[in-house]
Amino acid sequence: MTAPHTSPHLILWGAGTTRTIRPHWVLHELGLTYEKHPIGSRTGETQTDAFRALNPRGKIPVLQDGALVLAESAAIINYLVENYGPESGLVPRPGTPQRGLYDQWCFFIMTELDAHTLYILRRHDDLAHLYGAAPNAVQAAKEGFARQIAVVTQALRSGGPYLLGEPFTCADILLTTCLTWAHYCKIPLANDLIDYARRLTARPAYRQAAAINGGPMVGLT
Ligand SMILES: N[C@@H](CCC(=O)N[C@@H](CS)C(=O)NCC(=O)O)C(=O)O
């Protein structure tokens, strides 16, 4: 196992979206300083030659840590915790049952909630002028989200206050950002989920990250 870095020079690209707030939030939870390049989606800034040389996918967020260039919000937050704050408990130790459950929640959130339902809604409803209207896909995505989020609601009711019971982990960070996103899309959420998201978005690190990240999907009112 490699020793954790002591004085990293971290650079984070991206602001303004649900995906970009995740690394900002974790950087604040860990109390790390970092250089910010708050480029936005659909501004042209993700499509410049310079940025595409960094991330050929043309997507934010992107983290630079020395020679390492890392994209994908969930990969970035796990990397930050495992390298700069393993004692924070935000990511359970590898090879433990808690880590198995943690990975299960993270993959579930990133596929079933983020990519598979909320992103479909965003692309083919809000951003239909760019990606094309697809009312059937939007309806199926809404129904799919409702089915999957009911499982989350039940899990929090029976085993909360966080997804792994205790402690608070990055799986809660991923979930909270999907809940603020769903709320922004006017998707009805159970009261317990709203309370959970309000509690998590009240964390000082979230508030600091939200002030830097900006964007419309900040909190629940
Ligand atoms: N699965 C990726 C999704 C990244 C993604 O789609 N980012 C969007 C903004 S939320 C983006 O960069 N779009 C490029 C653009 O619209 O210019 C992650 O979680 O990091």
Sketch out the chain's domains with CATH numbers: 10-88 (3.40.30.10), 97-202 (1.20.1050.10)
| Rounded distance from Cα 97 to ligand 1 centre (Å) | 31
Q: Where are the alpha helices (DSSP H) in 9-108?
A: 18-29, 49-54, 73-84, 97-108
CA nearest ligand 1 atom 5, residue: 59
Report which residue type is found at 119: Y
The pLDDT of residue 1: 45
pLDDT tens for the chain, 221 residues: list them.
444 555 679 999 999 999 999 999 999 999 999 999 999 999 999 999 999 999 999 999 999 999 999 999 999 999 999 999 999 999 999 999 999 999 999 999 999 999 999 999 988 988 899 999 999 999 999 999 999 999 999 999 999 999 999 999 999 999 999 999 999 999 999 999 999 999 999 999 999 999 999 977 666 65
C-alpha 167: how far from chain center:
18
Q: What is the pTM of this model?
A: 0.94
Ligand 1 within 6 A of CB of 19: yes
Ligand 1 within 6 A of CB of 73: yes
Report which residue type is found at 182: A
- Site to substitute for ligand 1 among 43, 54, 59, most atoms within 8 A of C-beta: 59
